Amino acid sequence: MSLNDAPVGERAPRAGRRAVARRLLMCRPQYFDVTYSINPWMNPEKPTDARTALLQWEQLRELYLSLGHTVEVVEPLSGLPDMVFAANGATVVDGKVLGARFRHRERTAEGPAYLEWFAANGFDELLWPDHINEGEGDFLRVGRRMLAGTGFRTDVRSHAEAQEFFGIPVTGLTLVDPDYYHLDTALAVLSDDEVMYYPEAFSPGSRAVLRELFPDALLATADDAAVFGLNAFSDGLNVLLPQAATGLAARLKERGFHPVGVGLGELLKAGGSVKCCTLVLS
């Protein structure tokens, strides 16, 4: 079959996909709860079950280990129910650590707590930021470029701060839908040059930028986004995503990825899932 015979709308899976072993940082949801509301998913009136949260989190951790990744854990602190969302704890590029400075006072103490973990674990290039940024919730690396979200949490001025500190190009993207308040709820990095995203979560200008940078990107539907399907972690081959995102999983398969559904329903009550629980160290 020649290329021209390929059915319209189908894409040949890219040959030679392979998983890259990553070093990840996670935080056990020991004190998980929804006691305040800082995003539309959080309803403090709805009961949570810390035991279920722990079991679901443990499954994610074991999945990472079974795929050959290394998982470090940072000690959870009581009174910080959102600390399980390790992605927000900092941003790491080439061993350099940009600390996180949270938008809401309910989470401010997490920034120093995470930075302390880095200082105690051999990271010696640490920067306490001038501007608000919520770590890898809003900073996502694609190869040697950084995509940076703003609009709800991370201050646009932190994009320049990150570019200066890391020395890689930072491209700002504006989020417009409060349901998708962090970049990692609207866009997932699949490989060094591929992403998937939900266009409606972005401003028209940012959508145009994404089309320009990633003309071939996998575009998620409103249904994919609503089950948090974009809050995914990819090692270049395996893509861990919420198990309810079945449509997205099918389309990832067409492109030669191995989607792996994960059940993290308890944590979704706080507006987080796979990627939120995962800080990529290297």
Of 31, 57, 85, 197, which lies in the binding site for ligand ARG, with binding defined by CB under 6 A?
Answer: 85
Q: Is 141 in the site for ligand ARG (CB under 6 A)?
A: no
48 binds ligand ARG (CB under 6 A): no
Verify whether residue 276 is a known catalytic residue.
Answer: yes
Q: Identify which of residues 210 and 230 has a Cβ nearer to ligand ARG in the complex.
A: 230
Closest contact distance (angstroms) between CB of 149 and ligand ARG is 10
39 binds ligand ARG (CB under 6 A): yes
Kindly tell me which of 88 and 234 has the beta carbon lying closer to ligand ARG.
Answer: 88
How many residues bind ligand ARG, per CB under 6 A? 16
Asked if residue 235 binds ligand ARG (CB under 6 A), the reply is no
Closer CB to ligand ARG, 82 or 224, in the complex: 82
Q: Which of 82, 101, 26 is nearest to 262 (CA)?
A: 26
Per the annotation, the verdict on 182 as an active-site residue is yes
In 3D space, the residue among 265, 205, 225 whose CA is nearest the CA of residue 34 turns out to be 265
Active site members: 182, 276
Q: Which positions lie near ligand ARG, rule CB under 6 A?
A: 38-39, 42, 82, 85, 87-88, 107, 137, 182, 184-185, 270-272, 276
